[in-house]
């Protein structure tokens, strides 16, 4: 392999649409940078910016008293009974995520000439260059501040904080402030939400070198400067915020771009660089701008860059919270699906690579979301099911964890598998590092207690029944949305109970016994694993979600090695699944399951649908639908997980190498992958052979699986590298 992959992307022109703006972020603040030399717009976002909307149903429905009657009706064969299991409220979306404002820098006159805009994934910097001006922007992981530095001879700029972004509510109460400082100028923008006491305030401190600053409402004019350093923060609050204290905090930071960047790099570059992918791509293609590379969907250089961009964007969106449907970014107030966290597939797909791709920062962000909402999850369990423990919502704005977003067609309040899926990455992280987090242990115990209270009904064979049961976001062909024994619910309940038992040996016998009473999955008349393990419920195949194959991925309940007959039924179910509305998350979910079932052809096909479907903006952030329809982070953040799963898989007792390598990836190098048995792996492969270097941190024995034969026992000793040579295929 010659050369190295490009850890960044570039464009020869500014972003004409906010969707094409290059992105930077630290998991708290985000910035979308257009790079326009004449009217640069840096759109500022923050994970906490969700708009109050006056909704009166911000609590779970009090339905527990009606639950036994619903269960009776469903078990008696009333397939539509769950449609009446509601408190009559209208569909209530979660509070929508929105941008704060645009930091706007207007330049008198019009620039023309050479231009280059780029983002460096290793540093998090977005740079725009013309012959007479350079602008650099990053969001500091060390100091939680948006930093912009503009340099060039005789800079003249009009600087303002502009709230006028698409969809801004007309009743938004906005006040601007500006005053001169010894460094240059300070700007504020305070916005109060319509009909609410909640507000947010943005502050920008401008340090001017070699020029002057004067007030020019609503901001300031800078003239004759050599450089300008801008430090920006935004805060959501109730009542007044002391802007003076915010300015003092900004003035206490180093007032030099390079010093601020160095503090940031110690955190960002270290995290980003842990895992790399090199596919031996053509150097000429590696050098192309992103927008041109996207027109070559079969290029290894495109996969290299999207893998790198996916890791970069996932890291940049994760901190205070994990990534939203839009990551950490949006350029308009009318964000699709409220820019929420959707936990019945999307969030879980986006964070799928966290453990293997060595991004504990992402897992910790997800833990922050979970542990900050456990009180609300307890309310959900009590109100809807009359149970102890926890039930996660299918949608959350990051602030409330109550289950209030549901309707007849989407009875999301009936879904009980969410907590297990959300906790799974935390368990993977514990396995990877070899230590149990007490917070994860406590949450798992509460989840097991929920199942103790909820799993009380049995079938004619004495097996426990999950009733009501919901398979997101599908329904039986001959039934309704709320049903019985959805495959996902069975897998989640079993996994939650057994995992809780592993964390709590003192309760293990009780929880293992409960798990043993759950029924097995069902194989339908087509030889496929059925989406509902209940007689008489027929499958609906053409659907974007693959919830019924939860036991294959992300769990290891069904594998080709331990349960080959179930794996065959799962593979048949995957083959029958349609793409429905062609959503990116559906294709990549399909690919993840195919990789676990050792099917490189299906992985290849799913990737081709996304790479060839015009799903990516010039920013290399993705869309939900083909032709860049609806800004959405699912494809961008999930693609690295697909490539890793196709090349390396692990459990606490197994290592699988090259299980589903797409044929187009004829050669490559994947470095730094972490395993759940406590090792780091570097993998190099070509058409004819492969070599893996395993660097264990724990002494253990694992089952090794490769494309060329049966399993082998691999004895690993902590601190001793183990080199594996694989040939032939």
Q: What is the CATH number of the domain that holds 254?
A: 2.70.98.50
Distance, CA of 31 to CA of 42 (rounded, Å): 6
Q: Where are the alpha helices (DSSP H) in 476-543?
A: 487-503, 508-516
For the record, the structure tokens of 195 come out as 């009909």
Q: Per-residue pLDDT for 123 more than 60? A: yes
Q: Quick one: average pLDDT of 613-620? A: 98
Distance, CA of 632 to CA of 610 (rounded, Å): 13
Same domain, 417 and 521: yes
Burial category of 225 from C-beta neighbours within 10 Å (exposed 0-12, middle 13-18, buried 19 and up) = buried
Buried b (16+ CB within 10 A) or exposed e, 231-243: bbbbbbeeeebeb
The reported pLDDT for the residue numbered 366 is 98
Q: How far apart are the first and last CA of the chain?
A: 20
Q: Per-residue pLDDT for 708 more than 90? A: no
Q: Per-residue pLDDT for 728 more than 70? A: no
Q: Per-residue pLDDT for 53 more than 90? A: no
- The Cα diameter of the chain in Å comes to 85
Burial category of 646 from C-beta neighbours within 10 Å (exposed 0-12, middle 13-18, buried 19 and up) = buried
Region label for 299, one of left (φ > 0), alpha (ψ between -120 and 50) or beta (otherwise):
beta
Same domain, 124 and 171: yes
Residue recorded with tokens 């992981």? 141
Helix (H) or strand (E) holding 723: strand 722-726
DSSP characters over 37-106: SSEEEEEEEETT-B-----S--S----GGGHHHHHHHHHTT-TTGGGG-S--PPP-PPPPB---EEEEEE
Q: Per-residue pLDDT for 244 more than 80? A: yes
Region label for 109, one of left (φ > 0), alpha (ψ between -120 and 50) or beta (otherwise):
left
For the record, the structure tokens of 671 come out as 């470095």
Last residue of a domain, one of 578, 613, 645: 578
Residue recorded with tokens 């549901």? 406
Q: Per-residue pLDDT for 170 more than 70? A: yes
Region label for 184, one of left (φ > 0), alpha (ψ between -120 and 50) or beta (otherwise):
left
Closest CA to 673 of 353, 426, 413, 422: 353
The reported pLDDT for the residue numbered 648 is 98
Pairing of β 341-342 and β 276-278:
unpaired
- Residue 472 counted as domain residue: yes
How does the average pLDDT of the chain come out, rounded?
A: 96
Distances (CA, A) of 475 to 80, 391, 506, 511, 548: 11, 21, 39, 30, 11
Q: Per-residue pLDDT for 242 more than 80? A: yes
What contacts 230, CB < 8 A, 6 or more positions away? 103, 146, 147, 148, 149, 150, 159, 204, 205, 206, 207
Q: Quick one: average pLDDT of 404-430? A: 96
DSSP structure class, residue 716? E
Same domain, 39 and 170: yes
E-strand stretches of 131-197? 133-139, 146-162, 173-180, 184-192
- Higher pLDDT, residue 10 or 243: 10
Same domain, 81 and 173: no
Q: Quick one: average pLDDT of 583-602? A: 97
Closest CA to 31 of 155, 135, 177, 129: 135
E-strand stretches of 638-708? 648-651, 654-657, 668-674, 679-685, 690-696, 700-706
The reported pLDDT for the residue numbered 611 is 97
> How many domains would you assign to the chain?
3
Same domain, 566 and 679: no
Q: Per-residue pLDDT for 498 more than 80? A: yes
The reported pLDDT for the residue numbered 606 is 97
Last residue of a domain, one of 242, 268, 294: 268
Helix (H) or strand (E) holding 208: strand 198-209
- Residue 634 counted as domain residue: no
- Residue 383 counted as domain residue: yes
Same domain, 481 and 392: yes
Same domain, 383 and 401: yes
Q: What percent of the chain has pLDDT over 70?
A: 99
- Residue 316 counted as domain residue: no
- Residue 536 counted as domain residue: yes
Q: Per-residue pLDDT for 111 more than 80? A: no
The pLDDT-based confidence of 616 (bands split at 50, 70, 90) is very high
Same domain, 77 and 181: no
Q: Per-residue pLDDT for 97 more than 70? A: yes
Residue 289, number of CB atoms within 10 A of its CB: 16
CATH of the domain at 436: 1.50.10.10
- Higher pLDDT, residue 245 or 618: 618
What contacts 252, CB < 8 A, 6 or more positions away? none
Q: Per-residue pLDDT for 103 more than 60? A: yes
Burial category of 11 from C-beta neighbours within 10 Å (exposed 0-12, middle 13-18, buried 19 and up) = buried
The reported pLDDT for the residue numbered 688 is 87
- Residue 639 counted as domain residue: no
Same domain, 78 and 117: no
Q: Quick one: average pLDDT of 475-502? A: 96
Dihedral, CA of residue 608, residue 682, residue 314 and residue 432, to nearest 10 = 120
The reported pLDDT for the residue numbered 56 is 63
Distances (CA, A) of 548 to 413, 497, 521, 532, 573: 18, 19, 10, 8, 9
Same domain, 486 and 574: yes
- Residue 292 counted as domain residue: no
The reported pLDDT for the residue numbered 729 is 54
The reported pLDDT for the residue numbered 54 is 72
Same domain, 566 and 518: yes
3-state secondary structure (DSSP) of residue 324? strand
Q: Per-residue pLDDT for 710 more than 90? A: no
- Residue 682 structural domain: 668-726
Q: Tell if the pTM clears 0.95, that is, is over it.
A: yes
Last residue of a domain, one of 534, 551, 578: 578
Q: Where are the alpha helices (DSSP H) in 255-385?
A: 257-272, 283-286, 290-293, 300-317, 346-350, 360-371, 374-385
The reported pLDDT for the residue numbered 2 is 57
The reported pLDDT for the residue numbered 669 is 98
The pLDDT-based confidence of 20 (bands split at 50, 70, 90) is very high
Buried b (16+ CB within 10 A) or exposed e, 473-499: bbbbeebbbbbbbbbbbbbbbbbbbbb
- Residue 235 counted as domain residue: yes
CB 174 within 8 A of CB 190: yes
Same domain, 81 and 109: no
Q: Per-residue pLDDT for 112 more than 90? A: no
């Amino acid at each position: 392999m010659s050369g190295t992959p490009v850890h960044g992307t570039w464009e020869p022109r500014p972003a004409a649409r906010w969707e094409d703006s290059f992105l930077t972020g630290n998991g708290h603040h985000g910035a979308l940078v257009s790079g326009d030399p004449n009217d640069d717009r840096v759109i500022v976002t923050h994970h906490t910016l969700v708009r109050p909307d006056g909704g009166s149903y911000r609590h779970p429905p009090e339905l527990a008293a009606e639950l036994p009657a619903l269960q009776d009706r469903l078990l008696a064969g009333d397939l539509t009974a769950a449609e009446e299991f509601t408190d009559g409220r209208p569909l209530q979306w979660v509070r929508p995520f929105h941008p704060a404002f645009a930091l706007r820098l207007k330049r008198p006159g019009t620039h023309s000439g050479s231009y280059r805009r780029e983002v460096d994934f290793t540093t998090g910097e977005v740079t725009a260059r013309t012959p007479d001006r350079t602008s650099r922007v990053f969001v500091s992981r060390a100091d939680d501040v948006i930093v912009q530095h503009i340099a060039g001879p005789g800079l003249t700029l009009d600087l303002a904080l502009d709230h006028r972004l698409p969809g801004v509510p007309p009743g938004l109460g906005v006040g601007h402030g500006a005053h001169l400082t010894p460094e240059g100028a300070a700007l504020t923008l305070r916005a109060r939400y319509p009909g609410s006491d909640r507000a947010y305030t943005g502050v920008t401190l401008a340090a001017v070198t070699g020029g002057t600053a004067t007030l020019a409402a609503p901001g300031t004019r800078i003239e004759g400067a050599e450089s300008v350093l801008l430090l920006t923060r935004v805060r959501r609050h109730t009542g007044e915020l002391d802007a003076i204290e915010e300015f003092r905090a900004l003035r206490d930071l180093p007032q030099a771009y390079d010093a601020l960047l160095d503090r940031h790099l110690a955190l960002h570059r270290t995290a980003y660089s842990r895992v790399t992918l090199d596919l031996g791509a053509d150097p000429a293609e590696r050098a192309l701008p992103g927008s041109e590379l996207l027109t070559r969907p079969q290029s290894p250089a495109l996969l290299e860059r999207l893998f790198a961009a996916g890791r970069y964007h996932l890291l940049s969106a994760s901190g205070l919270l994990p990534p939203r449907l839009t990551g950490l970014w949006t350029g308009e107030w009318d964000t699709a699906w409220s820019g929420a966290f959707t936990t019945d597939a999307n969030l879980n797909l986006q964070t799928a690579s966290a453990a293997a791709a060595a991004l504990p920062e992402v897992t910790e962000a997800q833990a922050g979301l979970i542990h900050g909402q456990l009180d609300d999850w307890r309310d959900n369990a009590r109100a809807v099911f009359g149970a102890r423990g926890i039930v996660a919502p299918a949608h959350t704005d990051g602030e409330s964890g109550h289950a209030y977003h549901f309707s007849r067609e989407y009875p999301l309040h009936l879904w009980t598998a969410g907590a297990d899926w959300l906790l799974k990455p935390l368990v993977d992280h514990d396995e990877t590092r070899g230590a149990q987090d007490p917070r994860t242990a406590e949450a798992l115990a509460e989840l097991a207690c929920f199942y103790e209270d909820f799993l009380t009904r049995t079938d004619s064979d004495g097996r426990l029944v999950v009733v009501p049961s919901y398979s997101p976001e599908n329904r039986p062909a001959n039934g309704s949305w709320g049903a019985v024994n959805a495959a996902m619910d069975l897998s989640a309940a079993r996994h939650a109970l057994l995992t809780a038992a592993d964390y709590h040996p003192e309760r293990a016998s009780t929880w293992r016994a409960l798990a043993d009473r759950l029924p097995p999955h069902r194989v339908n008349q087509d030889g496929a694993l059925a989406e509902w393990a209940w007689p008489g419920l027929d499958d609906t195949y053409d659907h974007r979600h693959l919830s019924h194959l939860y036991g294959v991925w992300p769990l290891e309940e069904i594998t080709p090695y331990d349960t080959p007959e179930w794996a065959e039924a799962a593979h048949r179910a995957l083959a029958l699944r349609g793409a429905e509305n062609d959503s990116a998350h559906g294709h990549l979910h399909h690919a993840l399951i195919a990789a676990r079932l050792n099917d490189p052809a299906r992985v290849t096909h799913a990737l081709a649908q996304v790479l060839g479907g015009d799903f990516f903006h010039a920013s290399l952030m993705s869309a939900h639908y083909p032709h860049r329809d609806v800004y959405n982070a699912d494809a961008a953040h999930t693609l690295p997980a697909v490539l890793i799963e196709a090349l390396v898989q692990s459990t606490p007792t197994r290592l699988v190498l090259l299980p589903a390598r797409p044929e187009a990836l004829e050669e490559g190098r994947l470095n730094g992958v972490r395993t759940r048995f406590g090792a780091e792996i570097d993998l190099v492969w070509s058409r004819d052979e492969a070599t893996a270097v395993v660097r264990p941190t724990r002494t253990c024995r694992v089952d090794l699986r490769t494309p060329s034969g049966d399993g082998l026992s691999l004895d690993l000793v902590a601190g001793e590298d183990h080199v594996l040579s694989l040939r032939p295929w």
